[in-house]
């Protein structure tokens, strides 16, 4: 089989591929070039930056596999792949640890006003009046969505002396909660009891704008909101109002309704805003995991087919 790699992948995964196949490595190839040469390949190895739409798939007459070194598959026309019998392979969960660690980072940053502190020290301002933070110890932390990342966050927080509660209407097993010393609560419970709410749900019709003025109004005064899931889950206009009113103490966000953030966004100006540019999953380790896991998943699939 002939393999075309369209974006930079980890060397280890490239070496694995080269041991078995003839590989053409063309990181950053333009769509135009891709469409013109894809007919010669059986396998496309991509990352999320390569759109694999109907045009690419129609041109790829020999394609049998799309190997995406990623977790999300938003850039691939999955329905068209299904119609054409092309298998799509990725690496679910390979960046979950990176996101969970980043969630804890945003939590601590939001408790201790790290963003404001950095801005101040950069200006030579040592006035600490606005920098009196809060401790995480003894706080009630609500994990909204208790899948892979929510559970990893629970694991990581277990040494901080916090009380963990979680809400998930579709959890796998009840003992997932017990095993991690997390109390299972309903939606009202997580909203009203949490000192910090950390969001770990997918963006769906049900979850879009789920965090809005109505929900914020039912939260404790001084609650902290953390979101490393998807921006559309939170209504940012409503978030701004609750932050400015003091209902929300501070926020830690990695994802936004519109990315990249507009220069005018309140999130860049508010003193209680601790934000990062959608980098929760970006670590050297997760890059390696994503690439090696996807390629190994692909080889497994090929070997099963051959046997």
Query: How many C-alpha atoms does 263 have within 13 Å on its Cβ side?
Result: 0
Give per-residue burial for 228-253: e unless 16+ CB within 10 Å, then b: bbbbbbbbbebbbebbeeebbbbbbb
Nearer to ligand NAD, 63 or 157 (CB): 157
Active site members: 230, 259, 278
DSSP H helical ranges for the chain: 11-20, 31-37, 54-59, 78-84, 96-112, 114-122, 148-157, 175-179, 187-193, 213-217, 236-245, 284-306
Q: Which residue has the CB atom at the shortest distance from ligand NAD?
A: 147
CB of 108 to ligand NAD, least distance (A): 17
Nearer to ligand NAD, 34 or 76 (CB): 76
CB of 180 to ligand NAD, least distance (A): 13
**Sign of the C-alpha dihedral, residues 72, 78, 84, 85?**
positive
CB of 35 to ligand NAD, least distance (A): 29
CB of 76 to ligand NAD, least distance (A): 15
Nearer to ligand NAD, 117 or 215 (CB): 215
Contacts with ligand NAD by CB under 6 A lie at 71, 95-96, 99, 144-150, 167-171, 200-203, 206-207, 228-230, 254-255, 278, 280-281
Tokens of 209: 């704008």
Nearer to ligand NAD, 7 or 256 (CB): 256
């Amino acid at each position: 089989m002939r393999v075309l790699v369209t974006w930079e992948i980890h060397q280890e995964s490239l070496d694995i591929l080269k041991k078995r196949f003839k590989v053409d490595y063309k990181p950053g190839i333009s769509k135009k070039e891709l469409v013109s040469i894809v007919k010669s390949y059986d396998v496309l190895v991509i990352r999320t930056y390569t759109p694999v739409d109907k045009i690419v798939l129609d041109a790829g007459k020999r394609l049998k596999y799309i190997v995406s070194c990623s977790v999300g598959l938003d850039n691939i026309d999955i329905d068209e792949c299904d119609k054409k019998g092309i298998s799509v392979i990725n690496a679910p969960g390979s960046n979950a640890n990176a996101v969970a660690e980043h969630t804890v980072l945003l939590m601590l940053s939001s408790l201790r006003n790290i963003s404001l502190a950095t801005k101040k020290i950069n200006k030579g301002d040592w006035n600490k009046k606005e920098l009196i933070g809060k401790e995480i110890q003894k706080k009630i932390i609500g994990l909204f969505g208790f899948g892979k990342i929510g559970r990893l966050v629970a694991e990581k927080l277990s040494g901080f002396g916090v009380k963990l509660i979680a809400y998930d209407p579709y959890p796998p097993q009840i003992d997932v909660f017990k095993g991690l010393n997390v109390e299972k609560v309903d939606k009202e419970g997580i909203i009203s009891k949490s000192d910090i709410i950390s969001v770990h749900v997918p963006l769906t019709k049900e979850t879009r704008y789920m965090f809005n003025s109505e929900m914020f109004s039912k939260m404790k005064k001084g609650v902290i909101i953390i979101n490393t899931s998807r921006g559309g889950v939170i209504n940012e206009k409503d978030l701004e109002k609750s932050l400015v009113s003091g209902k929300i103490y501070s926020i830690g966000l990695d994802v936004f309704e519109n990315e990249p953030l507009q220069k005018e966004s309140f999130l860049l100006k508010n003193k209680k805003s601790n934000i990062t540019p959608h980098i929760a999953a970006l670590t050297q380790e997760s890059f390696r995991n994503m690439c090696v896991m996807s390629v190994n998943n692909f080889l497994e699939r090929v070997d099963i087919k051959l046997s």
